[in-house]
Amino acid sequence: MDEFDMYLTGRNSSPRFWLMRIPNVAGDRGPAVAALLNESEAGPAFASSQVSPRLDDAALLDEYSRTVVSAADRVGPAVVNIDIKQRLESQRGPREVGGSGSGFVIAPDGFILTNSHVVHAANQIAVSLPDGREYAAQLVGDDPDTDLAVIRIDAPHLAHVRLADSETLRVGQVVIAIGNPLGFQASVTAGVISALGRSMHAQSGRLIDNIIQTDAALNPGNSGGPLVNSAGEVIGVNTAMIRPAQGICFAIASNTAKFVAGWLIKEGKIRRSYIGVGGQNVPIHRRIVRFYNLPLETGVLVVSVEKNSPAEQTGLREGDVIVAFDAKPIGSIHELHKMLMGEQIGVQSEITIVRHTEKLALAITPVESPSRTAVSR
C-alpha cells in the first residue's frame, strides 16, 4: 500500500503546519480527506454544496418563533384565569381558603373547560378574561375521574378554541402551554411531546389513561390551561407536573376532554361503568391482524388488573390485548372509555382479546365505577 505526505495549513495566515501520513487506499481519496479537514482543499464543487450553519440555524429559529407566536395569538384570547374560594371545616371551626388555576373557552356562549381539582368543592368561582373583564361562574359539571370540569359565565360572543384530534399526535411534536402560573397571567412556554400513552391516578383514585407527557414548563396555576399544537389547536388540558423533576409535565388528551366535556354540558355528570383494567394503546402484529382478519391494527394492552373487579372475575390477565367490546372494534383506550358508559352497568357483554397469539371471547359484566359512588353530586 502506497503512502503520501500531505501538508495542511490552518485557516489563518500564521505559518502553522501539520504533517500527516494518510494511506492511499484504492482510488484518489486525497481531496475527500482534505475536505473533512479543510473544505478549501476540496475545490468549488464541495464549497457550493455547503449551507451556512449560522444562516440555516437563524432561519429555523425564526420559523420556530413565528410558530409559537402564531399559536399563542390564536389561543391566548380564549385562556382565562380562575379564582376560587372554598369553605373547609377544621377543629377551630370553618375557614375559607382560596386557590387559582387556568381554563379556556370552548364555546362562544361562555362554556369553559378546566381541571376538576381547580374548581372541585368550590363555594365561589370567579373568572378573569384576558381583556380584564371579570365574571362570576357556575359549575356545570365536574368529573374527578378524569380531572376535568366545565364551568360557565354569562358572557356572549367569546373567543374560543378548537379541540384537535389527539390520536394523530407524535412524540417529538412541538407543543405550547398557555396559562397563569403563580398568578402571572397569559404565560407561554414551549416544548415537545416527550411521550404518549402515559397513565396517572386522578384524585378520585381512578387511573387516567392516554396522558400526554411534555417538557413544556408547567407551574402551579397552569392547571386547566390548554396544551396547543403548532396550528393553534388544543391537543390537551394541562393537569400535573412532578415537582422534584424538571421537564416532566402531563396533560389530558383532547379526545378525552371532548368526550367528557360533552357529557358534562349535557347532563352535568358522567355515570360510567368500569371493568377494572389499566390499559395502553399498542400496535398489533400484522400476522395476527391478517390471520384473524381484525378490522383495526391497534388494541388496548392490559397493563394492570384490579382486585375483585369484573376483569379479574372474567379472567383477564396482564399482557392481554383488548380488540373488541360488545362486538365493536376497540383500537384505543379512548374508544374503550366511550363504550363503558352508564348504559353498560350490569349488562353482560362480550370482550374480545388476543392472548399471545390466541383470540378469545370472554363474557364480562361491567359495574358502576366505585369512584362515582364515593363522590357526592
CATH code: domain of residue 356: 2.30.42.10
- What one-character DSSP code corresponds to residue 163? B
Helices (H), the chain: 30-37, 44-48, 53-75, 116-119, 254-267, 286-292, 310-314, 333-339, 370-374
Q: Are residues 221 and 281 in the same domain?
A: no
How many Å apart are CA 240 and CA 227, to the nearest integer?
Answer: 12
Q: How many domains does the chain have?
A: 3
291 and 360 housed in the same domain: yes
Q: Which residues pair with 305 in a beta bridge?
A: 277
Last residue of a domain, one of 243, 268, 293: 268
Structure confidence at residue 369 (pLDDT): 78
Q: Please report the pLDDT score of residue 38 as a whole number.
A: 52
Same structural domain for residues 229 and 332? no
Residues 155 and 263 placed together within one structural domain of the fold: yes
pLDDT, residue 270, reads 83
Q: Are residues 182 and 309 in the same domain?
A: no
Domain range for 331: 273-374
- Write down the pLDDT at residue 183: 67
pLDDT at 96: 83
223 is catalytic: yes
Among residues 268, 283, 308, the one where a domain terminates is 268
Domain boundary (227, 252, 268) is at 268
Our answer to whether residue 160 is catalytic in this structure is no
Least Cα distance to 325 among 345, 348, 350 occurs for 350
Do 20 and 122 have their domain in common?
no
Distance CA 185, CA 134 (A): 14
Q: Is 209 in the active site? A: no
Closest CA to 321 of 332, 334, 310: 332
Q: On the CB side of 66, how many CA atoms lie within 13 Å of its CA? A: 6
Q: Are 120 and 142 in contact (CB under 8 A)?
A: yes
- Looking at the structure, do residues 65 and 207 belong to the same domain, yes or no? yes
Clarify whether residues 307 and 242 are in a common domain.
no
Considering 223, 254, 273, 369, which one is annotated as catalytic?
Answer: 223
From 117, 120, 160, 334, active-site residue: 117
pTM for this model (two decimals)? 0.65
CA distance linking residue 167 with residue 146, whole number of Å: 17
39 in Cβ contact with 45 (< 8 Å): no
| 78 shares a domain with 202 | yes
Per-residue pLDDT tens, the chain, 377 aa: give them: 444 444 444 444 444 444 444 445 445 555 554 444 454 444 555 455 555 555 577 777 788 888 899 999 999 999 999 999 988 877 777 888 888 899 999 999 999 999 999 998 899 999 999 988 999 999 999 998 889 999 999 998 999 999 999 999 999 999 999 988 776 777 899 999 999 988 887 776 667 888 999 988 887 788 899 999 999 999 999 987 766 656 788 999 999 999 899 989 998 888 888 899 999 999 999 999 999 999 999 999 999 999 999 999 999 999 999 999 999 999 998 789 878 878 889 999 999 999 999 999 999 999 987 654 333 33
Question: Is 277 in contact with 290 (CB distance < 8 Å)?
Answer: no
Instruction: Kindly give, in sequence order, each residue whose CB lies less than 8 Å from that of residue 311, ignoring residues fewer than 6 positions away.
Output: 275, 276, 277, 302, 305, 364
Non-local CB neighbours of 153 within 8 Å, separated by 6+ positions: 110, 112, 127, 135, 136, 137, 138
d(CA 254, CA 229): 11
Give me the CATH number covering residue 107: 2.40.10.120
Q: Are 240 and 281 within one domain?
A: no
Instruction: Tell whether 96 and 195 lie within a shared domain.
Output: yes
Residue 57 CB contacts under 8 Å (≥ 6 apart), including other chains: none
Q: Point out the catalytic residue in the list 83, 142, 145, 147.
A: 147
Quick one: pLDDT at residue 88? 82
Q: Are residues 176 and 278 in the same domain?
A: no
Count other C-beta atoms under 10 Å from residue 309's C-beta.
Answer: 18
pLDDT value at position 277?
93
Amino acid 28 reads D
